Amino acid sequence: MVTADATPSEKARERDSHDMGWRLRAIFGGSIGNLVEWYDWYAYSAFSLYFAPAFFPKGSQTAQLLNTAAIFAVGFLMRPIGGWIFGRYADRVGRKAALTSSVFLMSFGSLMIALTPGYASIGIAAPVMLVTARLLQGLSVGGEYGTSATYLSEVATRDRRGFYSSFQYVTLVGGHLAALAVQLVLQRLVLTPAELSAWGWRIPFVIGAVLAVVALYLRRRLEETESFKAQKGEGERAQRKGTIAELMRHPKALLLVVGLTLGGTVAFYTYTAYMKNFLVNSVGLPKDTATLLAFVSLFLYMLMQPLFGLVSDHIGRRPLLLGFGILGTLGTVPILTALSETKSAWVAFALMMVSLVIVSGYTSINAIVKAEMFPTEIRALGVGLPYGVTVAIFGGTAEYVGLWFKDHGHEPYFFWYVSACIFVSFIAYLGMTDTKKTSLLDRESAETTDR
């Protein structure tokens, strides 16, 4: 503690130390909740093979999996609604309140899945409750993106915004890895296949619910951002907070979010979620080898995000986006073609890592780029809603489009589809200014200092 007769330099160091302490707690609290939410989201797809027979009438395994896949898709359709509801709530009531509410909703959805009796016990009510739980999870994860992106960008220091905001994708990928890790442990060390199908599939959802309670506790202890507190209750401006009418006053930023996201989300879901199935169906690798390659590559990909975010703090956001746009447009077809033709796990792993390095130019900084384009009163909604719509239309359908082309004997067409989507985003990157130089966060920081 600094005494009253401390020198100005000592007082400055004390303030810096306090600022760094609460800022690190804020980054950790915001990020850990994001990890839990994405763990719960991916646990559904990871364990669908085991719980599908419990929720649907006896029939073919394919029919049961199609039913669970349809419910998974419904979750994607709810994400724009979640982006709207929680974005509006975050802009009007506060970032902390929205973050707390979203993780509570995810916890409730996971607990519903874990505790719902099977079709044999309660009939049609079982799949109805599963749909309801997935709707809640879709709302939650849809609201999480815009709110957490806003919170992380507002608590970060000016010179480290790219670095700090990159932890959104660190924890997003971390949630995916955690779900895979739980699956591997239960499969190989704890339960038999029969036990997993009978009741063991409920364990990951119980874990998710418990972790969400921990995240809820941490988020309740978060401090509200200075940006939000500074503009709280400012007359006419306060009445416009979080409204669609106010969002429409920023058409260029709105369209840019769609353009920024389109190619990035297709590439992300192609190189991550779809890749495991691609390695089995197209490359012909054994399932356990594909799972191992997916786990290791995702782990390394997760570690890359802060490095790319740090680079953006030094050279700007636009060079990374342009790099992704150029390399993704030109490299996707050759990479996926080479992957489909190789029989070597090592070659497949190397190609996967090249693709993940490329897509990191988008994923590591996409949150901060979008947050820097909107003012405080509309930031969470401006980031979350157009992102949710674009992901629902393009990201959520990437795997389906890939499988559809393969089923019709034209899988290479999918490679060109991904490349074309990235090219559309590349055009958006060409036409935008570097948000690091034009960030509205900087303007707000100056206004707060003047007050």
- Could you read off the pLDDT of 178-218 as tens digits, one per residue? 988 888 888 878 888 888 888 888 999 999 888 888 888 88
**Residue 252 CB burial class (10 angstroms; 0-12, 13-18, ≥19):** exposed
Mean pLDDT, consecutive 10-residue stretches, the chain (451 aa), reads 48 48 75 83 78 71 58 77 91 89 87 88 84 86 87 86 90 89 84 85 90 84 82 60 84 92 92 80 79 89 95 94 96 93 90 95 93 90 91 83 81 92 95 88 58 45
pTM of the model: 0.83
Question: How confident is the model at residue 390, as a pLDDT?
Answer: 92
Question: How confident is the model at residue 268, as a pLDDT?
Answer: 92
Residue ranges of domains in the chain, CATH in brackets: 23-450 (1.20.1250.20)
Question: How confident is the model at residue 449, as a pLDDT?
Answer: 45
Question: How confident is the model at residue 396, as a pLDDT?
Answer: 77
Question: How confident is the model at residue 122, as a pLDDT?
Answer: 85
| CA gap 227, 217 in Å, rounded | 23
- DSSP structure class, residue 394: I
Question: How confident is the model at residue 438, as a pLDDT?
Answer: 87
In this structure, is the dihedral angle defined by the CA atoms of residues 358, 359, 364 and 370, taken in order, positive or negative?
positive
Q: Contact 434/372 with Cβ under 8 angstroms?
A: no
Q: Contact 259/427 with Cβ under 8 angstroms?
A: yes
Question: How confident is the model at residue 41, as a pLDDT?
Answer: 79
